[in-house]
């Protein structure tokens, strides 16, 4: 019996950001997911980087699994033409459903919501609750201040140095593809 395709959860902004490369990398990672035959898991948004990732993945033929809380459905910002569209009661439930339905996490530029999602996945990894790889797609150094903050945290004794082994920073979608292939045991 064939194994089901791997699923990549993408956390990213519901806005496009100020750098056009953010949007380009979002589209590129959507295409990478499709090209590799993986499934996109994401927050079911139709705007900003979220919408760009999903549209690119769909146009390239990927299955898409979107999870959105009722609050955001009420604001009419959900992308409903996905392969799977799940509505949750709360934001917390959304994060759980997204995470439980993926094999790896990719974090694109984003704001407080993306940071919340990333830190929850990182904390769970630190606690040994999962072994899923976490990749920070560092478009034009966007995540450099976050990496510096995490180094600051360990330098001041609030986490072990092992924390830095729980995430990998990649410069672009192609490097992310290679790291995901490696994590999934697909060569590269």
Query: pLDDT tens digits for 32-72?
Result: 999 999 999 999 999 999 999 999 999 999 999 999 999 99
What are the φ/ψ torsions at residue 10 (nearest 5 degrees)?
A: -110, 120
Confidence of residue 125 (pLDDT cuts 50, 70, 90): very high
Q: Residue for token digits 């090209």?
A: 35
Q: Is the pLDDT of residue 150 over 80?
A: yes
Domains of the chain, earliest start first: 7-172 (3.40.50.450)
78 pLDDT higher than 90? no
Whether 180 and 36 have beta carbons less than 8 Å apart is answered as yes
By C-alpha distance, which of 98, 58, 100 is closest to 80?
58
Give the pTM. Answer: 0.96
Q: What pLDDT was estimated at residue 1?
A: 66
């Amino acid at each position: 019996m064939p194994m089901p395709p791997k699923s990549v959860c993408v956390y990213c902004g519901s806005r496009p950001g100020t750098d056009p490369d953010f949007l380009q990398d979002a589209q590129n990672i959507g295409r990478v997911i499709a090209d590799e035959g993986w499934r996109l898991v994401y927050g079911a948004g139709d705007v900003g980087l979220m919408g760009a990732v999903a549209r690119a993945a769909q146009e390239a033929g990927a299955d898409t699994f979107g999870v959105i809380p009722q609050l955001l459905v009420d604001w009419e910002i959900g992308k409903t033409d996905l392969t799977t569209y799940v509505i949750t009661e709360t934001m917390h439930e959304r994060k759980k459903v997204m995470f439980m339905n993926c094999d790896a996490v990719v974090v694109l530029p984003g704001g407080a919501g993306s940071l919340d999602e990333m830190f929850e996945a990182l904390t769970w990894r630190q606690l040994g609750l999962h072994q899923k790889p976490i990749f920070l797609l560092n478009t034009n150094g966007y995540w450099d201040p976050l990496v510096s903050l995490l180094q600051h945290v360990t330098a001041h004794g609030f986490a072990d140095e092992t924390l830095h082994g729980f995430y990998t920073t990649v410069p672009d979608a192609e490097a992310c593809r290679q790291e995901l292939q490696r994590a999934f045991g697909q060569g590269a």
